[in-house]
Amino acid sequence: MKSLGWRGVSRTTASYVINGKAKQYRVSDKTVEKVMAVVREHNYHPNAVAAGLRAGRTRSIGLVIPDLENTSYTRIANYLERQARQRGYQLLIACSEDQPDNEMRCIEHLLQRQVDAIIVSTSLPPEHPFYQRWANDPFPIVALDRALDREHFTSVVGADQDDAEMLAEELRKFPAETVLYLGALPELSVSFLREQGFRTAWKDDPREVHFLYANSYEREAAAQLFEKWLETHPMPQALFTTSFALLQGVMDVTLRRDGKLPSDLAIATFGDNELLDFLQCPVLAVAQRHRDVAERVLEIVLASPGRTA
């Protein structure tokens, strides 16, 4: 801005015009036109980050999710971006790929961008110390889907244990002899709660359950694990997956191997999707209210006392 010639107008007055404060400071229409002529001539764009730093805020919010291909997360991100934009905020989205090191780097990069708050679906186990540095800090960090330390952070999560128990109770009604439970990252709170719900529902059932855990919630990780498992086991008659992406991995392998899903395969899964309506086998699914989740998360962020208004 210093390098631009403002045609007899002071830099302070030019700044008022560029930042939309001409009327507030009673800048004349003639002066406004002079400044805007220079802006158009030089294709000048003010530095939003620098302006935000001067104001003590950047009107930006960071979002870290584990998988950009996971439809639940992308739908929530879509609603968050739209609602944040309507409130004058920019949403900066980063993907951790369910890798703790990636997640920590994402957080550090967002902090370097001086975001006003961070929303994160963490891949870190509950005992990991990374987020403890903000335990008593007013800077808003809100956990999405996967809880952080409840004593120091606000988390927006589903009723994972209750939903898993309900799904498993319904799955038990099918006359399946071989049962497969497919989850991922058992050290995460969301994984633990869903497994506990399943085990509670199945505790009095004599049928054996095979438990498998992928090293991430990604579709490819589930496919690799399931394909390896099938080398020594028959196709299960009942399948419980803790996310839709994991179910997609199972479907990929089965369709590649057999060309179709067995009609007598009973499926229970977290994450509803229109694709499930086209399956010939029975399917039980727990749907997530993505819009409501996004609204609740943003409400918490904007109401946080550490956020500069």
Q: Give the domain CATH number at 30.
A: 1.10.260.40
Q: Please tell me whether residues 133 and 196 are part of one structural domain.
A: no
User: Do 192 and 126 form a contact (C-beta atoms < 8 A)?
Assistant: no
The one-letter amino acid at 78: N
The set of residues, in sequence order, having a beta carbon less than 8 Å from that of 284 and lying 6+ positions away, is 167, 170, 171, 266, 267, 268, 269
Give the Cα separation of 183 and 269 in Å (integer): 10
CA distance 237 to 286: 20
31 and 72 inside one domain: no
Specify if 6 maps to a domain. Answer: no
Within-domain flag for 217: yes
Tell whether 250 and 272 lie within a shared domain.
yes
Question: Could you tell me if residue 3 is inside a domain?
Answer: no
Kindly give the interhelix angle for 29-42 and 11-18, rounded to the nearest 10 degrees: 80
What confidence score (pLDDT) does residue 291 get? 92
Residue 170 lies in a domain: yes
129 found inside a domain = yes
CATH of the domain at 104: 3.40.50.2300
Do 173 and 62 share a structural domain? no
For residues 258 and 238, the answer to whether their CB atoms sit within 8 Å is no
Same domain for 202 and 83 = no
Specify whether 142 is located in the same domain as 248: no
Per-residue confidence (pLDDT) for residue 3, from 0 to 100: 46
Determine contact, residues 17/32, Cβ cutoff 8 Å.
yes
- Confidence (pTM): 0.75
94-125 per-residue burial string, b: 16 or more CB within 10 A, e: under 16: bbbbbeeebbbebbeebeeeebbbbbbbbbbe
Q: How far from 176 is each of 28, 201, 262, 293, CA to CA, in Å?
A: 80, 15, 12, 35
pLDDT for the residue numbered 129: 92
What are the pLDDT tens digits along the chain (309 aa)? 444 455 567 778 877 777 667 777 788 888 888 778 877 776 766 655 555 544 456 899 999 999 998 888 999 999 999 999 999 999 999 999 999 999 999 999 999 999 999 999 999 987 889 999 998 889 999 999 999 988 889 999 989 999 999 999 999 999 999 999 999 999 888 999 999 999 999 999 999 999 999 999 999 999 999 999 999 999 999 999 999 999 999 999 999 999 999 999 999 999 878 888 888 899 999 988 899 999 999 999 999 865 544
Residues 6 or more apart whose Cβ sits within 8 Å of residue 120: 63, 64, 103, 107, 141, 142, 143, 144, 148
**120 and 146, same domain (yes or no):** yes
- 23: in domain: yes
Q: Do 174 and 238 lie in a common domain?
A: yes
173 with 267, same domain? Answer: yes
In total, how many domains does the chain have?
A: 3
User: Is the same domain home to 166 and 245?
Assistant: yes
Q: Count how many residues are written for the chain.
A: 309
Answer yes or no: are the C-beta atoms of 190 and 218 closer than 8 Å: no
Residue at 81 is within a domain: yes
Q: Look at residues 49, 27, 40 and name the one whose alpha carbon lies nearest to residue 15.
A: 27
Q: Per the domain annotation, does 1 fall within a domain?
A: no
Structural domain that includes position 119: 58-157+291-303
> Is residue 157 helix, strand or coil?
coil
